[in-house]
Structure 1
């Protein structure tokens, strides 16, 4: 637990996001600030497309720069746990309460389906940042011949993991453990299933293939999976430290 310097509320944890460039000492308290810094200070190689990034500010106290809607409501819950009265944050609604359960009931009944435009003006603000969400279109055979697909898949996986760590705030140790288990499933536990599928394919085409060939083909298929290779123990995405090296690439630099 740590205490917010702005409003004195106790929060679960604090997060600092270091700049991914090794010669830059800057760290930031929100993901959006890191993106803005990287865009403005390290964009000589390539200028990424700017997009509007929403940030939330508390309408009860002066706390600002809450990076996500989830962070905003966690902060609001802190006020309610301290029996502070919280006015509804949605447009046209005059509801207010200091009871946590009453607030959640109201929110789920009246504002369960909402967008950023439904918040009051003093709650959400937007700023220009960098579009980190690369959209990969379906590739034709000709495209695949010109693009390094394993690297493309690796970059996409890195982007997902970095968002889980830095936006959703899932602990890095938890992600590392999940990746280890996932690699075991892909490379070892799924081998008998893959072998059965390969064998069924050969039989469906009435091909007589030696068992050793089926075993070898199944093993190669499991071990050559780009996801499995990327998250293997010695792979490029296996640890949080290795994944930070992909931040400039994910940002488009």
Structure 2
């Protein structure tokens, strides 16, 4: 329903908007003109706003509007109720859980399924913009239902004077929107742009100074605009507009009295409005005050799965990969380890997590503080996401931070204990996802790490000069000198053989058995095992291992045959028109001494461009 002005063509769906229009646009009070009733069939008019509001409350409080709703029917049962499309799909979910095949309710769609994740993925992909109006005609019937008009506001609950500032802020939700926008900008400055708290506060203080200058000249500017448009200048109207401009000014939030005036106020707002999940500090040793921090994986995962953009991508990926890629090897889902995992390969939706562990230096790795402040970090990612999202930094989440020296001293068992407990809950009990209305279970599918980190966490020898140095097979150093390294030459490690090695290790108190020094703490999980859960280190094995050596031998051979010289090759590398991000990964010029070393020096991203 729209309310129309009796003096011009203005109309609005809100009564209060029309009254503000009367007051500002036509200046009825300034011209001493009566205010007409907002109802078209009412001839009453009033001298003051308070009289008009009392009239609306007294004579038009019972006004009704007609609202069109729909009664939705189910093809599989006697369900027939007035409900939204989301409530209707919740009903269809019951049939799917009963192993019934449900047809898509939308027009000209022949899709049907008995798997809820597949059904939801289809709706998200094909009908995400559809409404009840797009349902097949036999599934719904419209009828008229009398409801109280939401615009018939009881003005007695408000003050006698109309507060223009409150009207604009409440009606448009502009206040909250601007507040969240400013808060988001300040938070990104610190987290993404790495602006320090001190610098952020200095920027805020300068912006407040600029805002105070603007506020000083605002009344004069408003009066000038009113005069230029032949409007009567009223001090009350000017003051009201000035107050509105002040409140919708984003810089007003940065004042000392505003919600972002200090670091404490900003952090309080972040925690209250942005669902901040704070890290938990654990003490390893009270005497030496050794600690580590852990960000609860279950809490973060729950928040993510209840976001529509995340859960839709998870459901969509599961449907596409299971249906379209049955005869192709395109993702981890096509491998034997995934298919042998009872939890992850089931028809019900399950979450596959990928862990990543690595050390990094906080200080200069070549200086006097080398290894003193070295940090071990554990990250995780939802592997169900499509590859293009899974590989972005925004999709990788931190789980744990600790000193690398503490890992060596106290072991992974103490550091990863809270993470293991959360993962056990995820495996056994699962998480309730409100968006799906069901509980979803999951587990760790793989752990990505360099060879040193993988062997350290998995319990293998970290020295690769030992006899049994491989975590995938039982090849010895003597064997690789005699036999060619290729598939099916050396016996592979299996779950059974690894368990036997651990039994021998504990029974005889050996230092190691077949390269195994200890068990892996992740083996506490029911659906993860060390032998299957640590994939090869692709970057170090290939791009910083085999590939540079093979390339050096090939280039050395081509130069010896006089196809080109080293200077000609370096000139081509230097002039090659690399595009976009490849420009930063341009290969380094090849040293003239590379032939003696049989190795090209460079990092993995540059080696791949040769």
TM-score normalised by the chain length of structure 1:
0.38
Which has the larger strand fraction? Answer: 2
Q: Based on CA coordinates, which of the two structures has the bigger radius of gyration?
A: 2
**Higher RCO structure (Cα 8 Å, ≥6 apart):** 1
